Amino acid sequence: MSVETQKETLGFQTEVKQLLHLMIHSLYSNKEIFLRELISNASDAVDKLRFEALSKPNLLEGGAELKIRVSFDKDAKTVTLEDNGIGMSREDVITHLGTIAKSGTADFMKNLSGDQKKDSHLIGQFGVGFYSAFIVADKVDVFSRRAGSPASEGVHWSSKGEGEFEVATIDKAERGTRIVLHLKSGEDEFADGWRLRNIIKKYSDHIALPIELPKEVAAAEGEEQPAVEWETVNRASALWTRPRTEVKDEEYQEFYKHIAHDFENPLSWSHNKVEGKLEYSSLLYVPARAPFDLYQREAPKGLKLYVQRVFVMDQAESFLPLYLRFIKGVVDSNDLSLNVSREILQKDPIIDSMKSALTKRVLDMLEKLAKNEPEQYKGFWKNFGQVMKEGPAEDFANKEKIAGLLRFASTNGDEGEQVVGLADYLARAKEGQDKIYYLTGETYAQVKNSPHLEVFRKKGIEVLLLTDRIDEWLMSYLSEFDGKSFVDVARGDLDLGNLDSEEDKKAAEEVAKSKEGLVERLKTALGESVAEVRVSHRLTDSPAILAIGEQDLGLQMRQILEASGQKVPDSKPIFEFNPAHPLIEKLDNEQSDERFGDLSHILFDQAALAAGDSLKDPAAYVRRLNKLLVELSV
């Protein structure tokens, strides 16, 4: 072994310490998973070298035959994994092996529950598969040198998986990384060629470069030790290039875990080869759960890009719109140049055609999932629903298709569950109903009990209940679905069209005419607080509500703008009253203008509270209410 210099002992990041604790205490029930993770990392390192060598051929250092080698020593109780990929510098080693180099480490800490089964899911979400080595090893040595660096800049990293690790500079003749696992007592089964071969065939057969194991042969005459020959034990062909009929479900699932660094099977996948004007293969996956950085729109995302089977880019984001950023997979083009860059991708017309086709393929996959596996789709929606709601604004061409995939809570559904699709809603719509009715609000309880729904309950009309922060913004981009317009039941002058009989409409006109005097008194009393006062067609039980003007912002959008520090346009609500309510009848008969004014403002403030809004002057509301209570008690 070469002489070590610049040796130093460093401490692990706090998150790594917790992670190692989980690993060391047998986080995984399936221990053999460690080899899959280390091979997956080695494969990524080789892919990165291939890409960098396109512009810097000297990085290959005369060794263009890229591979991974796995060996073992029964006597020393070690398993060694070696690749001749990109390798790491001293700085890389400290960064990648001493910290979790991923956004959201605070979330990682927060989500650790102590439940091994639950916590095991977190590992894949943070891409920290290297630490799985400590499931079977009580000490790990890493020897690495970055391609293009001199032999004297090799690095040796070593740790027993406790609170610290050592880093030293060494001479390393070959580029790439060698990992030596010193097996724990009781883990000797992994220092065995047959066992390692089976693990590789099971989990890493799809890796598109040779994974070699030593094959013992008889010693030549005069030699003391038998010569070691290496044999490739995996298929070593790109899985996406094979016909679908030749690929088993298990192989698709293992390939997903490899490219996504996930530990769970995907919900669904789509494997497709396009020939003709454009030639490319794609393999797209829908994950089972959302990563922590899903809502960080700047977080790395995109498909793995290959050109004629040569890896080019790890996160090529130009092939799918942003609202589908959770999709994992591979796209392999025959039409792009090998020296393609992110800037070129953004301007290439071929990319636009591929993006359009891949987007439709993902939406078709989700439609199929929703139709054939409704329970699975329910889980998908829980994880990715809010991201899908970004779609109609971003992808005009597929607006109708996306709308069909959206799910909402409704007055007909279970407590707050977003399970109602628009096609289902229309299928059970009332006869003569030509609108899709919805109501937005802060919470399910608030919208479910909103006075705006009273007439709909009376007539048995289903209303969609939208409570995600993004919903009002979403509905500003959705004007119709299947030829039916969307109507916000809290906005404008409600018109139920054919759902109101001619008798109902005539009776409403007569009541409105008879209350013109009360309308004028209320306008005078409420003054600048309202844009308009009118008799309500929505109410059956409550005395009054506040409606939103057709062009005004709703409460959700106002709150979003205020939270982001933007100026909110001035707008005033429309005050609607229920002429049949006893409070309104009392108000109409009130002779004192002062008392009439107080009662009017109390009703206005109560309507604001029922809508989920805050009062402009809470003290004035309390003062008026107390005054009324004193009068009643006298």
Report pLDDT digits (tens) over 405-420.
999 999 987 777 889 9
Residue 511 identity? V
**pLDDT at res. 341:** 65
pLDDT value of position 264: 87
Calculate mean pLDDT across residues 617-627: 87
What are the phi and psi torsion angles at 476 (to 5°)? Answer: -70, -15
91-144: per-residue pLDDT in tens?
Answer: 999 888 876 544 444 455 555 555 555 555 555 444 457 888 888 999 999 999
Question: What's 486's domain CATH number?
Answer: 3.40.50.11260
| pLDDT value of position 89 | 94
In a domain, 389, yes or no: no
Q: pLDDT digits over 484-496, tens only?
A: 999 998 887 887 8
How far is 251 from 115, CA to CA, in rounded Å? Answer: 29
Q: Given pLDDT bands bounded at 50, 70 and 90, which one contains residue 340?
A: low
User: What are the tens digits of pLDDT across the range 509-522?
Assistant: 888 888 888 989 99
Please tell me the predicted confidence (pLDDT) of residue 104. 44
- In angstroms, the Cα distances linking 534 to 495, 515, 528, 537 are 14, 9, 15, 9
3-state secondary structure of 480: strand
Number of domains forming the structure of the chain: 4
Query: Are 256 and 302 within one domain?
Result: yes
CATH number for the domain that contains residue 207: 3.30.565.10
Same domain for 409 and 341: no
Q: Are residues 98 and 201 in the same domain?
A: yes
Most confident of 18-27, 61-70, 358-367: 358-367
36: number of Cβ within 10 Å = 22
Structure tokens at 1: 């072994």
pLDDT at position 634 over 70: no
Q: Hey, what amino acid is at 373?
A: E
Read off the pLDDT of residues 564-596 as tens digits, 9 standing for 90 and up.
677 777 778 889 899 989 999 988 888 888 889
Task: Please list the alpha-helical segments (H only) found in 11-142.
Answer: 14-24, 33-55, 90-98, 105-111, 116-125
Q: Tell me if 392 is assigned to some domain.
A: no
397 within domain boundaries: no
Interatomic CA distance for residues 615 and 613, integer angstroms: 7
Q: How far apart are CA 301 and CA 284, in angstroms?
A: 13
Q: Residue 576 belongs to what H/E stretch?
A: strand 574-577
Residue 557 has φ and ψ, to the nearest 5°, of: -65, -35
Q: Please check whether residue 87 lies inside any domain of the structure.
A: yes
Mean pLDDT score across all residues of the chain: 85
Question: Does the pLDDT of residue 56 top 80, yes or no?
Answer: yes
Cα–Cα nearest to 119, from 27, 36, 34 = 27
Tokens of 371: 């139709």
The answer to whether 437 and 464 have CB atoms below 8 angstroms apart is: yes
- Could you tell me the residue range of the domain that residue 287 belongs to? 239-382
**Which of 461, 496, 531 is the C-terminal boundary of a domain?**
496
pLDDT range class, residue 63, cuts 50, 70, 90: confident
Q: Rounded distance, CA 378 to CA 394, Å? A: 23
Mean pLDDT (whole number) for 390-404: 95
CATH of the domain at 514: 1.20.120.790
Residue 324 and residue 464 in one domain? no
Winning range, highest mean pLDDT, from 11-25, 53-67, 139-153, 516-530: 139-153
Q: Is the pLDDT of residue 550 over 80?
A: no
Put residue 401 in one of left, alpha, beta given phi > 0 → left and psi -120 to 50 → alpha: alpha
Q: What is the DSSP letter of 557?
A: H
Weakest-pLDDT range from 192-201, 369-378, 474-483, 613-622: 613-622
Q: Write out the DSSP string of 359-396.
A: HHHHHHHHHHHHHH-HHHHHHHHHHHHHHHTTHHHH-G
Cα separation, 596 vs 489, whole angstroms: 29
- 469 and 568, same structural domain? no
Q: Are residues 62 and 198 in the same domain?
A: yes
pLDDT, residue 206, reads 82
Q: Which of 176, 199, 232 is the last residue of a domain?
A: 232
Task: Give the per-residue pLDDT at 316.
Answer: 85
Most confident segment among 63-67, 262-266, 419-423: 419-423
Q: Which amino acid does the sequence have at 27?
A: L
Instruction: Please give the share of the chain, as a percent, with pLDDT higher than 70.
Output: 88
Do residues 338 and 467 share a domain? no
Beta strands in 134-267 (DSSP E): 137-145, 154-159, 164-170, 176-183, 211-216, 228-232
CB atoms within 10 A of CB 108: 21
Q: Is the dihedral of CA 627, 629, 630, 631 positive or negative?
A: positive
Within 13 A of 433's CA, how many CA atoms are on the CB side? 18
Q: Does residue 16 share a domain with residue 149?
A: yes
Say whether both 190 and 248 belong to one domain.
no
pLDDT score of 122: 53
DSSP string, 29-40: S-TTHHHHHHHH
Q: Where among 174, 200, 232 does a domain terminate?
A: 232
Strands 574-577, 532-535: pairing kind: parallel
| 391 assigned to some structural domain | no
Residue 102's pLDDT is what? 46
pLDDT of residue 413: 76
Residue 364 lies in a domain: yes
Residue 77 has pLDDT above 90, yes or no: yes
* pLDDT band, residue 320 (cuts 50/70/90): very high
pLDDT in tens, 269-287: 999 999 888 899 999 999 9
Judge if 427 and 441 occupy the same domain. yes
Burial 377-386 (b: 16+ CB within 10 A, else e): beebbebbbb
| DSSP at 545 | E
Task: Please report whether residue 365 resides in a domain.
Answer: yes
Half-sphere exposure of 8 toward its Cβ, with a 13 Å CA cutoff? 9
Q: Measured between alpha carbons, how far is 258 from 266 in angstroms, rounded to an integer?
A: 12
Give the CA count within 13 Å in the CB-facing half-sphere of 593. 6
Q: What is the pLDDT of residues 412-447, one digit of tens each?
A: 877 778 899 999 999 999 888 889 999 998 888 888
pLDDT for the residue numbered 565: 73
Q: pLDDT of 536-548, one tens digit each?
A: 888 889 999 988 8
Please tell me whether residues 171 and 35 are part of one structural domain: yes
| 16 inside domain | yes
The confidence score (pLDDT) of residue 50 equals 86
State residue 389's pLDDT score. Answer: 95
Residues 173 and 205 in one domain: yes
Residue 392 clears pLDDT 90, i.e. is over it: yes
